[in-house]
Amino acid sequence: MTEFFAPDDRARLEAAAELLGGSFLRVDALADVPDTSRARVVVTSWGAAPFTAELLDALPALGLVAHTGASVRALVTDEVFDRDVLVTQAGTGMARSVAEVSLAFTLALLHRVPRMHNALRDGSAAWHRPESAGVQHEILGAPIAVVGASRTGRAYLELIGALGAEPLLVDPTLGAQEAAALGAELVGLDEALTRARIVALHAPSLPVTHRMLGARELALMPDGAGLVNTARSWLVDERALLRELETGRIDAAIDVFDEEPLPAGSPLRRLPNVLLTPHRAAGTWEGRLRQGRIVADEIEAFARRVPLRHTVSREPLAVLA
């Protein structure tokens, strides 16, 4: 937890704990706490155990679960809401970090960096010849499809817009005027895939978005186009993507996978037209501290009995993957 909380935010947590009639205690697991009966707030991170009925029975005074990450689907159960426990998360603090990695991926694919890097690493001299390198592009004037106006999607739109891209936005929850206010042209998914030089995924993991990019959709992408995925592997048929990448027709930059860590024998590791990172797009120092600050804000608000800003309710959580 130390990576999330700067000294001033740790001090705020301690002050909030005093307001709640207790003290702030850092532990690696609730099983390490000799007496959890007075705990009013539990701060969680990735890998925390689900809040089962048995665990909640050991936390009779619990009023708030504050998650330092974004998705709470893996740890929050219906029992949490049945007992009127509030749930909050710090996903907003991750948006800038992930958007910057998406931008880095975008620039890398436009400039054919993965192909050239892998060719040089493997000893090939062919990529010194322009006819072998393929067409390299600038982001200025590039049509870039942004699938999903999420927090991260909006941060990414701001970044690519500032660099002169021509964003195409796919999001059925928005109208054309709302998209225009974000600096983008609202289009359907098929049109975006057909027109875009880069397709960047920032959609949520919902039943309707499961494998929204399959073999048919990937085939719509122009030769030389690139796919950027820093969202969830849920959005893409990974096998169909692998088949398309193996043809060499398109490129991809990927931070998320069906199986994580990505297996050592995964064919994705061997393809020259793929850039891979190990689900670390949100892992910046600044982003982690921003997430901690949000959690401290929420706990402070809970202690002072004022409304929280980042609560999660039962209804939307029920449809998240």
Task: Please give the model's pTM, rounded to 2 decimal places.
Answer: 0.93
Say how far apart CA 213 and CA 302 lie, in whole Å: 41
Which residues 6+ apart lie within 8 Å of 39 measured at CB?
22, 33, 59, 61, 62
How far the first Cα of the chain sits from its last, in Å, is: 26
**R_g of the chain computed on alpha carbons:** 22
Confidence of residue 1 (pLDDT cuts 50, 70, 90): low
Say how far apart CA 295 and CA 39 lie, in whole Å: 16
Confidence of residue 129 (pLDDT cuts 50, 70, 90): low
* Sign of the torsion angle spanned by Cα atoms 195, 198, 201, 202: negative
Tokens of 265: 């024998």
8 A C-beta contact, residue 315 and residue 32: no
Greater confidence (26 vs 115) lies with 115
Say how far apart CA 71 and CA 41 lie, in whole Å: 18
Number of Cβ within 10 Å of residue 278's Cβ equals 12
Encode pLDDT of 133-142 as tens digits: 679 999 999 9
What backbone torsions phi and psi does residue 65 show, to the nearest 5 degrees? -110, 120
Question: Which range among 74-83, 126-135, 151-160, 265-274 shows the weakest confidence by mean pLDDT?
Answer: 126-135
Span 289-299, average pLDDT: 98
Confidence of residue 321 (pLDDT cuts 50, 70, 90): very low
Encode pLDDT of 208-245 as tens digits: 999 999 999 999 999 999 999 999 999 999 999 999 99
The whole-chain average pLDDT of the chain stands at: 94
Catalytic residues: 232, 260, 279
pLDDT exceeds 70 at position 248: yes
Encode pLDDT of 79-127 as tens digits: 999 999 999 999 999 999 999 999 999 999 999 999 999 999 988 777 6
For residue 23, the model assigns a pLDDT of: 86
Question: Which range among 20-34, 189-203, 282-296 shows the weakest confidence by mean pLDDT?
Answer: 20-34
Number of Cβ within 10 Å of residue 190's Cβ equals 12
Span 20-29, average pLDDT: 83
Number of Cβ within 10 Å of residue 177's Cβ equals 8
Confidence of residue 27 (pLDDT cuts 50, 70, 90): confident
Tell me the domains of the chain and their CATH numbers: 7-89+284-317 (3.40.50.720), 94-276 (3.40.50.720)
